[in-house]
Amino acid sequence: MSYTLLRVVEAGVVLREGHRARFEACGEAVLASFDAFCTEAAPGIYALRAEGEALRITTRDRSAVSAGMPIGFAPSPYFGVGDFAKPAPPCPYDEVRIDGVCTFLTDDLGEEVIEACRGVALAFVGGAFVRAGSRFSRVTSVAEAFLARRGIRAQRIEARFAGPWAVANAVAGVVCVGPRASGAHAKEAAEAARAWTAAMHETASRR
């Protein structure tokens, strides 16, 4: 089963090509349905799931990520399995997802951040965002592929990092989270987050 969660704006699907790639192994019927969805969909947030030769589409009311939301840390429920395609709910991520909290997922010792429960883990270091460069398993991310192509480098991020922290995904863009969202360097980080989100939205396409 292939699955993706995406945002549609007036210009089309944000990061469209990355989302489409998630369905390439599902056959021409699913790809045709995806292309038709991209052409016709109203602005909003949608979950798309391939079921056989059909594409199931459901709407979401809002993003689960918001600026300044509290953060927590927990060992990854996928630790040690290797990189993998985005899983549809229900899935092991549900065990570490708490409404209103962004949980950063770590190795089994709780020392190194691998990803966030709802996206790519980012840290604002030296005036720019870096992404978690973990050697451990995590979702193959449409948002991370975009950020990597645009030059956000990967490095080891310790769970003890003081912040600012951010999370990135294809729906929310880049969002600063945690207590340091209003602390030192918060303004710089927030400005950088807005710029990266705008850059993601510039990719929006209907075809």
- pLDDT (0 to 100) of residue 181: 62
- pLDDT (0 to 100) of residue 78: 85
Buried b (16+ CB within 10 A) or exposed e, 65-101: beebbebeeeebebeeeeeeebebeeeebeebbeeee
- pLDDT (0 to 100) of residue 6: 98
Q: Where in the chain are all domains bearing CATH 3.20.10.10? A: 71-201
- Rounded to two decimals, what is the model's pTM? 0.93
Dihedral angle sign, alpha carbons of residues 177, 178, 179, 183: negative
* pLDDT tens track, the chain, 207 positions: 699 999 999 999 999 999 999 999 999 999 999 999 999 999 999 999 999 999 999 999 999 999 999 999 999 988 766 678 888 889 889 999 999 999 999 999 999 999 999 999 999 999 999 999 877 878 889 999 999 999 999 999 999 999 999 999 999 999 999 986 656 789 999 999 999 999 999 999 999
CATH architecture of 71-201: Alpha-Beta Barrel (3.20)
- pLDDT (0 to 100) of residue 88: 87
- pLDDT (0 to 100) of residue 151: 97
- pLDDT (0 to 100) of residue 46: 98
